[in-house]
């Protein structure tokens, strides 16, 4: 459970570090691993940090906090795609994989956020309906007949 509580913030911090590295390296001497790495650091990763922050916010507002099995799979796939994008953008030879990975990343990020939101709404609705369910004694006060 603790792993799933921290996976999104750790991924976000790693992406922020890559963003800072990209901006500093490009501003200092213009030397960067590849064009795909530059695009990741300037466009893709900032958007993913926002997406991960939204996912974490939705997940923390849920009671209980832990993600479902489907959400765990989606989060794992999302982090895996991010790792593949980082590794493949380090070289010009493999950066074409990054270009094909961007649409997949977008679809998985949207699906993850949507599933987290729908599940959280369902959990909140179930909690509210179970709190509203009362006994017959609540409807007819006054004790025994």
Q: What is the pLDDT of residues 22-36, one digit of tens each?
A: 999 888 887 788 888
Rg (CA), the chain: 22
CA distance 59 to 68: 10
Residue predicted with more confidence, 134 or 42: 42
* Cβ 7 vs Cβ 79: under 8 Å: yes
pTM of the full structure: 0.79
* Cβ 20 vs Cβ 45: under 8 Å: no
pLDDT digit string (tens) for 122-137? 888 877 776 555 555 5
Residue predicted with more confidence, 100 or 2: 100
Q: Which residues of 38-55 are buried (b: 16+ CB within 10 A; e: fewer)?
A: bbbbeebbeebbebbebb
The answer on pLDDT for 53 being more than 90 is yes
pLDDT digit string (tens) for 60-73? 888 777 788 888 89
pLDDT value of position 104: 93
pLDDT digit string (tens) for 82-102? 999 999 888 888 878 888 889
């Amino acid at each position: 459970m603790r792993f799933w509580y921290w996976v999104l913030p750790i991924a976000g911090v790693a992406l922020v570090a890559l963003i800072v590295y990209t901006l500093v390296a490009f501003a200092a001497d213009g030397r960067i691993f590849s064009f795909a790495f530059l695009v990741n650091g300037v466009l893709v990763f900032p958007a993913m940090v926002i997406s991960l922050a939204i996912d974490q916010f939705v997940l923390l507002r849920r009671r209980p906090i832990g993600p479902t099995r489907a959400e765990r799979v989606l989060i794992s796939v999302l982090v895996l795609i991010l790792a593949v994008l980082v590794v493949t953008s380090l070289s010009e030879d493999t950066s074409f994989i990054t270009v094909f990975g961007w649409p997949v990343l977008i679809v998985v990020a949207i699906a993850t956020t949507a599933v987290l939101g729908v599940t959280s709404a369902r959990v909140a609705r179930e909690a509210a309906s179970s709190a509203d369910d009362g006994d017959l004694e609540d409807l007819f006060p006054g004790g025994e007949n």
